């Protein structure tokens, strides 16, 4: 396998176009096209679907791209370290669910990074992508979230994939909504109380390898007719703050976040489901100093904010 061909493929995937990649790399477009075809032939897979709209990664191509980006990143690091004598960077990377107590732990952890060169990655996504990030995309740590009734499934899958896991927290979802919401001053909220309102939900399913229909049935009550699906956490707070007809199921939020966006959080008497946040990393991986600093901040944040 030719590393240069791999570099061309990564650039095409990033730009979605052979012509744009050729302009960026200052290489003739036919040469890039031929290199990618040779790479696909060597690997025995189709990396790109070619169409009038451009170059689109196939499922196999997406998996390959995770490996390729990691390999090229490591080659660059070796080159910088030995050819240019660059100082060794502190490195930390983690893929996590969207949760206030985790993001606040990360903010606190960031204060402990010393003045030496550092490279820090923090990605919010679902459990499936977190597992893939730890396995294939050079993320050292991950936190996955799942309903307690999937505990056996997840533990079996993690062991099969060679991933270590440690419990971070157990909790039940609460409801957050605008302080102007019609239910904001109600002492006890039921599923039926929520029927007339708009639920904000994260758009990506939590459980890898299970049908979406089964996941949706497990995760979302059937009595809500209006939902807005989002991927990005800042948007959810803007929606909740600006539209008093919306609500969202979340892990308990901090007073700081609630006050910032003018929100309140409420328990639902009908909600009995328990969720788990679990730290994962590859077998044989030795936790770094930065890893341990983050885990300490995470435990402190959990104690401050999670209502068990």
Q: What is the reported pLDDT for 213?
A: 47
Is the pLDDT higher at 129 or at 306? 129
Instruction: Examine the domain organization and report whether 56 and 99 are in the same domain.
Output: no
Does one domain contain both 67 and 99? no
Evaluate whether 100 touches 254 at the Cβ level (below 8 Å). yes
d(CA 140, CA 222): 37
Q: Does one domain contain both 48 and 67?
A: yes
Q: List the CATH number of the domain containing 204.
A: 3.40.190.10
> Looking at the structure, do residues 159 and 292 belong to the same domain, yes or no?
yes
pLDDT tens by residue, 56-81? 999 899 889 988 888 888 887 777 66
Q: What is the CATH number of the domain that holds 79?
A: 1.10.10.10
Range of the domain at 300: 90-170+275-305
More confident residue, 101 or 206: 101
User: Is residue 212 classed exposed, middle or buried when 0-12, 13-18 and 19+ CB atoms within 10 A define those classes?
Assistant: exposed
SS3 for 7-31, per residue?
Answer: HHHHHHHHHCCHHHHHHHHCCCHHH
Query: How many CA atoms within 13 Å lie on the side-chain side of 209?
Result: 8
With cut-offs at 50, 70 and 90, classify the pLDDT of residue 253.
confident
Dist. CA 202–CA 248, nearest whole Å: 9
Are 189 and 163 in the same domain?
Answer: no
What average pLDDT score do residues 14-27 get? 89
Q: Which helix (H) or strand (E) holds 301?
A: helix 289-305
> Are 224 and 194 spatial neighbours (Cβ–Cβ below 8 Å)?
yes
* pLDDT for 164: 95
Rounded to whole angstroms, what are the CA distances from 282 to 39, 144, 215?
Answer: 29, 14, 26
What pTM did the predictor assign?
0.68
Mean pLDDT of 164-192: 93
User: Is residue 143 over pLDDT 60?
Assistant: yes
């Amino acid at each position: 396998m030719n590393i240069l061909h791999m570099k061309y493929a990564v650039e095409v995937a990033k730009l979605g176009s052979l012509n744009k990649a050729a302009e960026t790399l200052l290489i003739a477009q036919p040469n890039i096209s031929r290199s990618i075809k040779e790479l696909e032939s060597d690997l025995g897979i189709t990396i790109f679907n070619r169409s009038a709209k451009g170059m689109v990664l196939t499922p196999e191509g997406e998996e390959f791209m995770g490996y390729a980006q990691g390999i090229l990143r490591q080659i660059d690091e070796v080159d910088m370290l030995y050819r240019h004598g660059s100082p060794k960077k502190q490195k930390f990377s983690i893929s996590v669910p969207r949760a206030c107590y985790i993001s606040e732990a990360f903010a606190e952890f960031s204060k402990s990074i010393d003045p030496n060169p550092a490279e820090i990655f923090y990605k919010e996504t679902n459990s499936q992508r977190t597992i893939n990030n730890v396995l294939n995309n050079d993320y050292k740590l991950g936190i996955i979230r799942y309903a307690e009734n999937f505990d056996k499934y997840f533990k079996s899958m993690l062991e099969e994939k060679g991933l270590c896991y440690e419990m971070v927290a157990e909790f039940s979802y609460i409801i957050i909504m605008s302080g102007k919401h019609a239910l904001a001053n109600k002492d006890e909220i039921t599923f039926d109380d929520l029927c007339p309102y708009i639920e904000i939900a994260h758009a990506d399913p939590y459980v890898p390898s299970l049908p979406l229909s089964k996941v949706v049935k497990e995760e979302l009550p059937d009595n809500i007719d209006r939902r807005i699906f989002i991927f990005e956490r800042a948007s959810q707070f803007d929606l909740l703050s600006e539209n008093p007809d919306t609500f969202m199921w979340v892990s308990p939020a901090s007073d700081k976040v609630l006050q910032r966006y003018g929100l309140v959080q409420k328990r639902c008497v009908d909600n009995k489901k328990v969720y788990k946040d679990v730290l994962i990393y590859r077998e044989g991986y030795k936790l770094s100093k930065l890893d341990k600093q983050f885990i300490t901040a995470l435990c402190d944040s959990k104690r401050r904010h999670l209502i068990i």
